[in-house]
Amino acid sequence: MKELTIFLKRIFWLALILIVVDVLLGQAIKYLFNKQKSGKYFITSYALSKAKEDVLIFGDSHAAEHFDAHLMQDSLKTSVFNLGVAGQSLVFYYPLIKSVLSYHKPKLVILNLDATELVYNVADYQKMSIFLPYYGENKFVDSSINLIGDKEKFLALSSLFRYNSTIGYVLLNTSAKTYNKSYKSLGFDPQQGDICKNKLVADVDSKINAKGKVKFDPLKLKYLVSLIQYLHAQNVQLVITTTPLFNGMEDDNVYRLKLQGLLKANGVQYWDYANNTGFKGNCNLFSDPSHLNKTGADLFTNMISTQIIKSQILGGPLK
Average pLDDT over residues 246-272: 90
| Weakest mean pLDDT among 4-13, 79-88, 213-222 | 4-13
Give the chain as a DSSP string.
-HHHHHHHHHHHHHHHHHHHHHHHHHHHHHHHHTT--BSHHHHHHHHHHT---SEEEE-SHHHHTT--HHHHHHHHTS-EEE---TT--HHHHHHHHHHHHTT---SEEEEE--TTTTB--HHHHHGGGGGGGGTTS-HHHHHHHTTT-TTHHHHTTSHHHHHTTTHHHHHHHHH---STTBTTTTT-------STTT-----TGGGS-TTS---B-HHHHHHHHHHHHHHHHTT-EEEEEE---SS---TT-HHHHHHHHHHHHTT-EEEE-TT-TTTTT-GGGEEETTEE-HHHHHHHHHHHHHHHHHHTTTTS---
Q: What is the mean pLDDT of residues 236-257?
A: 91
Please determine, for residue 319, whether its predicted confidence score (pLDDT) is greater than 70.
Answer: no
Summarize the confidence of residues 81-87 as an average pLDDT: 96
- Most distant CA pair in the chain: distance in Å? 83
185 CB contacts (<8 Å, ≥6 apart)? 69, 70, 82, 179
Task: Kindly give the pairing relationship between strand 237-242 and strand 269-272.
Answer: parallel
153: Cα separation from own chain's centroid: 22
- The interaxial angle of helices 218-233 and 254-265, nearest 10 deg, is 30
Say if CB 162 and CB 195 are below 8 A apart.
no
- The CATH code of the domain at 56-121+184-311 is 3.40.50.1110
pTM of the model: 0.88
CB 141, CB 3: distance < 8 Å? no
Contact yes or no for 156/134 (Cβ under 8 A) = no
Q: For residues 103-131, give the mean pLDDT.
A: 93
Higher pLDDT, 176 or 93: 93
pLDDT at residue 33 in the model: 78
Residue 103 has pLDDT above 70, yes or no: yes
Give the model's confidence band at 46: pLDDT under 50 very low, under 70 low, under 90 confident, else very high. Answer: very high
Checking if the pLDDT of 206 tops 50, the result is: no
> Are the C-beta atoms of residues 242 and 111 closer than 8 Å to each other?
no
The span from the CA of 93 to the CA of 111, in Å, is 8
pLDDT band for position 112 (50/70/90)? very high
Q: pLDDT by residue (tens digit) across 288-307?
A: 999 999 999 999 999 999 99
Please say whether the beta carbons of 65 and 190 come within 8 A: yes
Q: Is the pLDDT of residue 2 over 80?
A: no
pLDDT cut 70: percent of the chain above it: 80
Choice between 151 and 135, residue whose per-residue pLDDT is larger: 135
Q: Is the pLDDT of residue 286 over 50?
A: yes
Q: Give the model's pLDDT for residue 317.
A: 45
Contact between 262 and 221 (Cβ < 8 Å): yes
Judged by average pLDDT, the poorest of 4-18, 88-102, 131-145, 164-178 is: 4-18
Q: Which pLDDT tens digit goes with each residue over 49-63?
A: 999 999 999 999 999
What pLDDT was estimated at residue 25? 67
Beta bridge partners of 58: 111
Is 205's pLDDT higher than 50? no
* Greater pLDDT, 134 or 7: 134
Question: Packing angle between helix 90-101 and helix 40-49, nearest 10 degrees?
Answer: 40
pLDDT at 156 over 90: no
Q: What is the rounded distance in angstroms from the CA atom of residue 191 to the CA atom of residue 180?
A: 9
- Torsion angle of the four alpha carbons 177, 178, 181, 183, in this order, in degrees rounded to the nearest 10: 60
Find the mean pLDDT for residues 197-224.
69
In this predicted structure, which of 94-98, 186-190, 197-201, 246-250 has the lowest mean pLDDT? 197-201
